[in-house]
Structure 1
Amino acid sequence: MDKLTALSTSIALLAGVMAFFAVGPASGLFLIWVSTIAWAAYFLLGADKAALTNMLVCGSFGAVMGWIGALIIANIAPDTALGVPMMAALAVIETVWVMCMAAHFPKFAAIPASVLGYSCVFGYLLQTPDTLTHDALLGISLSNPLVLVCLSIALGAYFGVWSGQFAAKLETIKFKK
């Protein structure tokens, strides 16, 4: 099987597996949109061992920085002088700056993966009611965006690995003409 057909088949079949679990037995245990973003990012980062490490480490680091930003925002007083929107913007500026500057350390150098993790935390917070609260942010459960996003990133990154491995096996199939 040619490389594109093998990879397309592998990704399609494993996407079906992920969808089955997302709407079936593992519903609510991971965010399929976060997992597929991490899966795609694994390939964008090179689809190798370093890509897996970068997606896991930097994606999770970005999620941590987003979570810290969310904690800061959750603590903003409604009557703050600059207003909640301006204070929230400042919290994002601070945490994104720290996240990007951490790229001075080689383990945190994949800034795009960090940004994906950060963005996924805020995507979840902005789409899901009652999550930008101390209870949700500090709870040890799957309603904590840090836990849920990091788990979903890891799942997606490993689906990237598995789809690459499955595609390599499919490439060995020879069709008779």
Structure 2
Amino acid sequence: MNVVYAFAISASVIASITTLAFLSFPGLLIWCAFIGWAAYLQSGGIASVISSVSASMLFGAFMAWLFAVILSMGVLPFGVPVAAALIVAVMAPIMVIAQKIGLLSVVPATFYGFASSFAFLAQTDGVFNLDSLLSLSLANSLIIVPVSLFIGVFLGWLHATAAGMLTQQAG
């Protein structure tokens, strides 16, 4: 089977089952899972990138969580926009330089993790506060976002594996 068709068919099946599962059992972030899926495929879609893509996204999610904790503590003597800009000005180069650590080599995935966490924090009522950020619950971005992203990486692997099986069967 043609590779494009194999990827299309496997995406259709996996995405529909994923949508059904996430909508039937709410709590996890389906949009975040699709970002993890895309990060895996963008990074080559081969099993050997699972650890670096996952670690990079986790690092980005951690940096966003740390950003939120620092901002929520109000330790900088500025309004939120200036304080947020200053914190990001320090964090962004750290996230890029971290690529020197082999496991954190996928800089786009680091930024996907950061952006996913920030989106969750900015768009979910009641979670951008120290109580939520320090809780052991799905209100904590450091829990919900990485779990959802990792599910997405697994879905990306499943997608690529299924597509590979479809192309090999047609020989």
TM-score higher than 0.5 here? yes
Contact 2:41 2:156 in 1 (8 A): yes
Which residue matches 1:16? Answer: 16
Spell out, residue by residue over 1:27-78, the C-alpha distance to the aligned partner (whole angstroms, 9 max, x if none): 11x211111011011111011123211221101111001100110111116x
**Cα distance in 2 between the residues matched to 1:81 and 1:102:** 28
Structural mapping, 1:53-64, within 5 Å: 53-64=51-62
Q: CA deviation at 1:21?
A: 1.0
Q: CA deviation at 1:96?
A: 2.0
Which residue matches 2:71? Answer: 73
Structural mapping, 1:1-177, within 5 Å: 1-24=1-24, 26-28=25-27, 30-76=28-74, 81-174=77-170
TM-score, normalization by structure 1: 0.90
Q: What stretches of structure 1 move > 4 A for 4+ residues in a row?
A: none
Q: CA deviation at 1:82?
A: 2.8
Spell out, residue by residue over 1:93-141, the C-alpha distance to the aligned partner (whole angstroms, 9 max, x if none): 2222222221221221211110000010001111101111111100011
Q: Whose helix fraction is larger, Structure 1's or Structure 2's? A: 2
Could you tell me which runs of 5 or more consecutive residues in structure 1 were left unpaired when the two chains were aligned: none
Could you tell me which runs of 5 or more consecutive residues in structure 2 were left unpaired when the two chains were aligned: none
**Cα distance in 2 between the residues matched to 1:9 and 1:81:** 54
Contact 2:64 2:118 in 1 (8 A): yes
Cα root mean square deviation, aligned? 1.4
Against the structure 1 CA distance between its residues 33 and 75, is the aligned structure 2 distance closer, same or farther, given a 3 Å change threshold? same
TM-score, normalization by structure 2: 0.93
Percent of residue pairs identical: 29
Against the structure 1 CA distance between its residues 113 and 23, is the aligned structure 2 distance closer, same or farther, given a 3 Å change threshold? same
Q: CA deviation at 1:171?
A: 2.1
Contact 1:43 1:51 in 2 (8 A): no
Equivalent residue pairs, number: 170
Amino acid at match of 1:5: Y
